[in-house]
């Protein structure tokens, strides 16, 4: 079972998906990556794909991730400073690994924090 601390870390890092898209010029709508039934597999989305979408779509996805993690924790708040740090960490990871999955960027940040790297 995953601890609530791990979820908190992942929440912060998941919010970073918003900033990853702001690191480059937006080019396509997020709907470009939907399947035939209109679903977006957020676990398959790459850093490059996120960075290549419109800012408002990236913001939407970041809000979705945040809500997902907060829902898992049954929390109704966010630590803004911690979220900003998570945003930065995921941006750095995604810039260095554009072919990586966004969820892997979140996971890398969570593991770093769990190992005392922040």
**pLDDT, greater one: 5 or 115:** 115
**pLDDT, greater one: 39 or 93:** 39
Q: Is the pLDDT of residue 3 over 70?
A: no
Taking the C-alpha atoms of residue 27 and residue 14, their distance in angstroms, rounded to an integer, is 22
Judge if pTM exceeds 0.95.
no
Residues 10-67: tens digit of each pLDDT: 655 555 555 554 444 558 998 999 999 999 998 899 989 888 888 788 777 776 776 6
Taking the C-alpha atoms of residue 1 and residue 86, their distance in angstroms, rounded to an integer, is 23
Residue 41: its pLDDT value, please?
94
Residue 66: its pLDDT value, please?
66
**Cα–Cα separations (whole angstroms), residue 80 to 66, 85, 115:** 12, 9, 21
Taking the C-alpha atoms of residue 90 and residue 97, their distance in angstroms, rounded to an integer, is 10
* Number of domains forming the structure of the chain: 1
Residue 9: its pLDDT value, please?
59
Residue 32: its pLDDT value, please?
92
Q: Which domain holds residue 40?
A: 4-114
Residue 39: its pLDDT value, please?
95
| Angle CA 115–21–68, to nearest 5 | 60
Q: At 62, is the secondary structure helix, strand, or coil? A: helix
% of the chain with per-residue pLDDT over 70: 64
- Mean predicted lDDT score pLDDT of the chain: 75
């Amino acid at each position: 079972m995953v601890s609530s601390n791990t979820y908190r870390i992942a929440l912060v890092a998941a919010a970073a998906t918003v900033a990853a898209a702001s690191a480059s010029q937006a080019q396509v709508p997020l709907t470009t990556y939907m399947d035939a039934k209109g679903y977006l597999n957020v676990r398959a989305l790459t850093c490059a794909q996120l960075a290549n979408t419109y800012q408002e779509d990236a913001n939407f996805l970041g809000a979705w991730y945040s809500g997902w993690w907060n829902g898992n924790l049954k929390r109704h708040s966010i630590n803004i400073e911690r979220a900003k740090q998570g945003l930065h960490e995921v941006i750095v990871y995604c810039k260095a690994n554009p072919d990586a999955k966004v969820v892997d960027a979140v996971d890398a940040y969570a593991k770093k924090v769990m190992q005392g790297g922040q």
